Amino acid sequence: MSHDGCHEVAWKGKAFPYLMHHPNFHSTENYGSMREAAGASAGHSQAHGHGYGRQPLPSEQTGSDVHSRAGTGTWNGPAPRGAQGAASQAGAGADAGPVKEPDSVRLANGVRLPLIGLGTAAIKDPEIIKSALQVGYRHFDCAWFYGNEEIVGRGLAEFISAGGRDELFVVSKVWNTHHRPEAVRRSVEESLSKLGCGHLDLLLMHWPEAWTPESSFSQPVTDTGVTISETWAAMEALVDEGKVRALGVSNFSIKQVEELLSSCRIRPVVNQVELHPLNAQRKLVGVLFRMGLQCVAYSPLGGQSMIKPNELLNNELVARVAKEAGKTPAQVLLKWNIQRGVPVVTKTSNPDRLAQNLEGMYDWKLSYEQKAALDSLDCGTRFIDFDWKCWADPEEGGVAKPSKVMGL
């Protein structure tokens, strides 16, 4: 993987014009190229990045950053740090005017996933689900562990009975105490019964940690009697039976995904992870996309202060960008992910915020400068973190940075 833009390199400007630190970088087709923004018309903006005449991805539309540059999950604009002079080449008005952004991405199985979904954790009233449906939500993120799938099912029931099931994208997850094959089946059948949706559009392995059945969240005990491969095989059997349409994972590192891909029969299509400007995880997003996995962002607003205080939603820089864009801080944070082609799962029980988080979100874009400002916040801060979880080195897996290989 090429240099990540965090530090200038010793050979800056000496050679390799296709690399980002060369003075002529922005005249070439590569990461950060502003060729189209600087001179191309709106009808000729398909050739982003290293495509060299390739056919556009299904999720690409004219003028959008979504999955440009072969879907790296990074901005069609500035690197996280460095290349500070690039913005001036684009011009302040490069992103001005009305736009129509894509509202979904296409998964590896050909199914389209709405870019904005509703997280159902802590929802206690089916009326919230009904309100979400009325506003236009079709992507619902559920989990056995949330303990409220019956409530979600009651909220979905009328819509489904009216023939709307095919419009929905319903997700559930296998909890840590259910990794043994018989428990996988039992938990999914329980979820299907409570949700009343007939099948799951996507089933995720909630965490790559297996716990014994008697474990609690505060006192987990590792289950050494089951492997990730065995759990996955049990999930694959549910696809064979038509109870589940696609499989994915959650909270997996690049290396853990690589290990799963080496043994699975049905490939995962999603990795749901914590993604926001304080925890951008660019290598994870980009490398997995090239492996055929779409990252989906949970806690895109930085969490709800249930575990850690939310230092993002009220961040001064976020507030400034929101004021410039004429949007709320929440809208800006959601846009930061969906504009780079990463679907978000946002949680709220407030009817006004339900609408704010969805309506009109595809009719505008963050400017190049606004994206660069939000990028600068990246520091690896997580809001969903527990004593029992040991996070992998973010550089582990994929292709190592030259600086890491050389021990710099």
Catalytically active residues are: 146
Tell me the one-letter amino acid at 107.
L
Measured between alpha carbons, how far is residue 212 from residues 179, 183, 221 in Å?
9, 11, 6
Half-sphere exposure of 327 (CA within 13 A, CB side): 27
Q: Indicate the angle between helix axes 316-325 and 368-375, nearest 10 degrees.
A: 170
Count the Cβ atoms, other than its own, within 10 Å of residue 350: 11
Closest CA to 105 of 53, 44, 163, 64: 64
Greatest alpha-carbon pair distance for the chain in Å reads 66
Alpha helices in 104-208 (DSSP H): 126-135, 149-159, 181-195
Report d(CA 365, CA 321) in Å as an integer.
Answer: 12
DSSP state of 200: B
Half-sphere exposure of 32 (CA within 13 A, CB side): 28
- SS3 at position 222: strand
Chain mean position to CA 313: 18
Amino acid at 403: S
202 contacts 169 by C-beta, under 8 angstroms: yes
Continuous H helices in 242-328: 254-261, 282-291, 316-325
Residue partners of 25: CB distance under 8 A and separation at least 6:
17, 18, 19, 32, 33, 83
Q: Are residues 254 and 287 in contact, defined by beta-carbon separation less than 8 angstroms?
A: yes
